[in-house]
Structure 1
Amino acid sequence: MTRNISILSNDDIIEMAPAAGAWEPMEGVSSKYSFVPTVKAIDLLRDVGWQPIFATQSGVRKRARDGYQKHLIRFVQPDLIMRDERIDLLLYNSHDRGCSFKLMAGIWRFICSNGLVIGDEYANFSHKHIGFNPDDFMKSAIQIAGSAGDIASQMDELKQIELIPQAQSAFAKAAHNLVYDEPDEAPIESDDLLKTRRHEDEGRDIWRTFNVIQSNIIDGGLRGSKIGANGRRRRVTTRPVKALDKNLKLNQALWVLTQEMGKLAKEIA
């Protein structure tokens, strides 16, 4: 592996995300629930060339769910590491009936250590625990690897499309509406999402605009203000999106939005 990537063992994964090591479902689930350990899925992915490098799990409010909650493991393949980005596979699962196995394509951007998630249907698969078929599961993982060329082509195309300032603002406003149900009451303005944090992100192409917006939303850290209960405006800093469900949904929605911006830009040109 290049770029100092460390491959994880199953023990490493369980240490990072204990729920991935569950060998039985959460107490109280239906007898009809079909249990498939995450570690079995991880081993199947290893068999088709995907190597785990990172694991995390969601927090829980109820103690009974602790050890069975949603968890995510990121995988890589040496052949899918490029100069500036890497095509990854994400495995998402839980053992509390919260979700089925989900396999998703992701992009890791080395400049900012940004984890992007592909929203296209061809790069997203769901496999229920009931009737789990290992062969179908591995075929999905192989298909994600096979889609790497298409994903790379999309990235290259987005890097070539320049946006005028008004189009960048429209992009940011659409993304802002994805995050805030009441945009007018949000602590930041939509154009705040266009603030760059590093020299490499300066530019007007869609790819960099997308990455700047995504990073500002997911990582938080933008300074703004909000009206408190006393009616006074107070300074606040936006928080990072740590909840796994929200993180994945926002990432996928931003990817789809970026593709639509690319289509519109090409039509206008």
Structure 2
Amino acid sequence: MNKLLAELDYAMISLKRYKFNTIFTIFFTYIVFVAIYGGGSLAGGGLGGYFKQNSVAFAIGYIFVIVVMSGVGGFAGDITGYAKTGILEQLFMSDIPFGITLVIRNIATIIVQFFFIASVLLLITLTMGIPFAFNPLHLVILLLSLFEVYGLGLIMGGIALLFKNVSSVIGALQFFFMPLAFASIQEPWLWLVPITPGAELMRRVSAGSLQTTDLLFFVLNTILYFAIGSIIFNICLNATRKRGTMGIY
């Protein structure tokens, strides 16, 4: 608990101390949405009509893009940062297991992410006229989605332990996963795909069409990807120890 409070305190101090960066990040994220959604809405033909009719779905998809960008590279980014500063090996020798340290740091990141997401959603709702009605289930689904994406992040974190710098791979995967945030579940097998089920459930909550079985499938999907990520991370961790390259960057 003390470690979590320390990470939260560090995150809040960073947000306050670098106010310009915090405000710019929120504003830039909002401006990108305005540019994409506004441009699409003003387009002629069926494209403009599609954006106007599916404004809530598009806003939810955009929020999930933010989640994907943060989650997929979170663990790997932390590990690369630790390796660059030369403290990776020291963290493995601390009283707190390294995996717990990563999880605690990313729980703090999740809390900060909620602040950014809420700020961007508020700006979108107030200025763009998109009728996004908040439901507590939105928060539950978003939290589960973050854990699902962090399962993917653990895989990248494990690869980062082995190769230390995987920024190019992370960038490629982030763009690869982005379309999944806007996809719709039309076939049963799509429940096995990452990211798409969470975005789909958010849309169904907004439309009032969520079923209990939908939520059950999504919980199983989240557990599956987080478990796979944890297993692969531990395999990579053991391989790094055997190679003796933990402290080498």
- TM-score normalised to structure 2 length: 0.27
Structure whose residues are more often helix by fraction: 2
Structure whose residues are more often strand by fraction: 1
- TM-score normalised to structure 1 length: 0.26
